[in-house]
Amino acid sequence: MTKITFIQCLDDGTIPLNYTLEDFECHICYCPLDSDTCVKYQHDDGGPWCLATQICGDCLGYMIESQSVQSSIFVDKMVDLQDCVKLLKSLLNGTYGVPTRLFDLVIFPHANDAIIPNSVCPQFGRKNEVAQLMIGSQLVSPCLKGAPETPSMIRDVISLIISRLTEKLEDYDGDDVTLIRTNLDILKKKIDY
């Protein structure tokens, strides 16, 4: 089996002639890919379609379910002050955002390791999420179940994180409390755009 992980499809959505689907197998169930089970994806609407060479359509369903569960516990996990502070830093420096769609840089790599802003909410959505999915010739939603779907919903999630962190700071007397409060104020201003 071929070990290539990134193949950009031709303009008509087909894979380049020097590859066949039989060259690839799902790295989860080890079934060979075929025209009914192959997965194609786009990182940005209107961008090039790419072939996911390491997953079949059946296993993709399990991946979406798994990431949907992770998305649903995203805010619930923010009960520990240190988790809230880590998330606050990553939201401010743009390294991580609120999960809205399917994401995996190994299964769905991008050409030249580019950073693609989130199409739902470029400022606070998680980067490099999949914008479009296709199994065989059928379009499939890459949206995570229960995840925020609009910029205002993402802002609501961030507002909830801010309020949780503000509550936790009331009982916290560490040396970095001033820095955390300053970062919170910056984030509050950013979500009011």
In whole angstroms, what is the distance from residue 13 CA to residue 146 CA?
30
pLDDT in tens, 29-38: 999 999 899 9
Q: Provide mean pLDDT across the span 127-150.
A: 86
Residue 65 pLDDT greater than 80, yes or no: yes
With 60 as the cut, is the pLDDT of residue 69 above it?
Answer: yes
What pLDDT score was predicted for residue 85?
Answer: 75
Q: What is the pLDDT of residue 138?
A: 93
pLDDT computed for residue 29 by the predictor: 94
Mind listing the pLDDT tens digit for each residue in 119-129? 556 666 666 78
Token couple for 30:
């080890």
The pTM of the full predicted model, rounded to 2 decimals, is: 0.74
Q: What is the pLDDT of residue 179?
A: 82
Q: Which of 60-69, 78-87, 143-152 shows the lowest mean pLDDT across its residues?
A: 78-87
20-56 pLDDT, tens digit per residue, is 787 888 989 999 999 899 999 988 777 788 888 889 9
What is the reported pLDDT for 193? Answer: 44
pLDDT at 17 over 90: no
The predicted-structure confidence for 88-115, as pLDDT tens digits, reads as follows 777 777 666 778 888 887 888 876 555 5
Looking at the chain, how many residues does it have? 193
